[in-house]
Structure 1
Amino acid sequence: MRELWGGQSVGDTAGLGRRGMLALGAMTVLAACTSTAKSTDGGKVRTDLAPLERRFTALGPLSGAHWLGAALGTDSRMSVPGPTDVRVVGIAQLRAGAVAALMGAPQRRFQPGTPSQLPAELAEFMPKGARWVRSDSFDREMTGGTYSGAFYLGPGTDTVYFDTTNPSVAASSGP
């Protein structure tokens, strides 16, 4: 057998043996199967409005919000270094009458819809009995085609539920 650095032989596999190699392989598979979503702020619900108002300018001024920012794909030790996608999801209170005004454009064609994948941390902030509506054209208008997102409006509550990935700052709002 050929000797490697440190006195081990090639056939020795650094002393692990067959069972050790199998155990190492099993640990690698388990690590790859762990969740790949990790909150960038420890799962803490945020209430600051400025980051949302800079990204979702078409909603107008907000009077309240509960939201999360979560980095996707950073919880695994096996992940490849590189750009990180960020999920921004939450509920925001719009000014009185804002939802009716947003729904007034006939080209938007709002239809009943139900938000999916609601994080448990936000469940208590969802308006009770809200009847959500959604429009694909409104989603495209909000995202400007630069990121993915879904926006559900609550006509009876003047609220919006948003679920976006990598929402960019609107060009007119500065950094």
Structure 2
Amino acid sequence: MGGFAGPRRRGVLALGAATVLGACTSTAQGTDGNKVRTDSEPLERRFAALGPLSNAHWLGVVLGTDSRGSVPGPTDVRVVGLAQLRAGGAAIIAGTPQHGFLPATPNQLPDVLTQFMPKGARWVRSESFDRAVTGGRYSGAFYVDPDTDWACFDTTNPSAVPSSGP
């Protein structure tokens, strides 16, 4: 009879079960706990229409996991945060007539990120611009403040879009 025998097979099964249970017992939190990331390169790849970014503060939050011990499935990742655009970048984006930006306020920003929100920001948002950034490949909301050149983003499963421009 081929395959694993006795204790060796049980060891492999136990290791597999431990891996599955570990995946099932995490809660919705940052992929590195609630550690705020400050690297901008991953954001620039995914949100090319925003241009070069600096002062980034963001989280990758794993969604859809629970502690009930259910069978693991596809996992969604929420990428949410703030970054500063190049000087004048937000005004250029918001001034694009075909997008029709309107006043809007980012909502449900994780508490750990609220300390990085620019004081007195006057946010604007355009669903048309959201679609231009995401290329229709994932969901996302992008807010810009033309006065301070800050952007706030809240996305699910963002991926690099081949050509995303304003």
TM-score (norm 1): 0.75
- Unpaired runs of 5+ residues, structure 1, are 1-33
Q: Any idea what SS the aligned residue of 1:141 has?
A: helix
Q: How does 1:20-99 map to 2 (within 5 A)?
A: 37-99=28-90
- The runs of 5 or more residues in structure 2 that have no matched partner are 1-24
Comparing 103-112 and 72-81, the one that deviates more: 72-81
What CA RMSD, in Å, does the superposition of the two structures yield over aligned residues?
1.9
For 1:1-175, what aligned pairs fall within 5 Å after superposition?
37-171=28-162
TM-score w.r.t. structure 2 length? 0.79
Q: Which amino acid aligns with 1:92?
A: A
Q: Is the 8 A contact 2:134 2:161 kept in 1?
A: no
Q: Give the number of aligned pairs.
A: 140
4+ aligned runs moved over 4 Å, structure 1: none
In the alignment, is the contact (CA less than 8 A) between 1:38 and 1:73 conserved in 2? Answer: no
Alignment-mate amino acid for residue 133 of structure 1: V
Q: 1:35 to 1:113 in 2, by over 3 A?
A: farther
Q: Show the counterpart of 1:31.
A: none
Distance 2:103 2:26 in 1: 31
SS for the counterpart of 2:155 is: strand
Distance 1:79 1:169 in 2: 31
Distance in 1 (CA, whole Å) between partners of 2:69 and 2:134 is 31
Query: d(CA) in 1 for partners of 2:105 and 2:70?
Result: 32
Distance in 2 separating the partners of 1:76 and 1:38: 13
**Between the two proteins, what is the percent identity of the paired residues?**
72
1:104: Cα distance to partner?
Answer: 2.1
Deviation at 1:97, TM superposition (A): 0.4
CA drift at 1:35 = 9.4
Question: What corresponds to 1:25 in structure 2?
Answer: none
Q: In structure 2, what is the Cα distance between the partners aligned to 1:46 and 1:162?
A: 14
Retained in 1: the 8 A contact 2:94–2:124?
A: no
CA distance in 2, matches of 1:35, 1:135: 34
**2:44, 2:63 → 1: CA distance?**
22
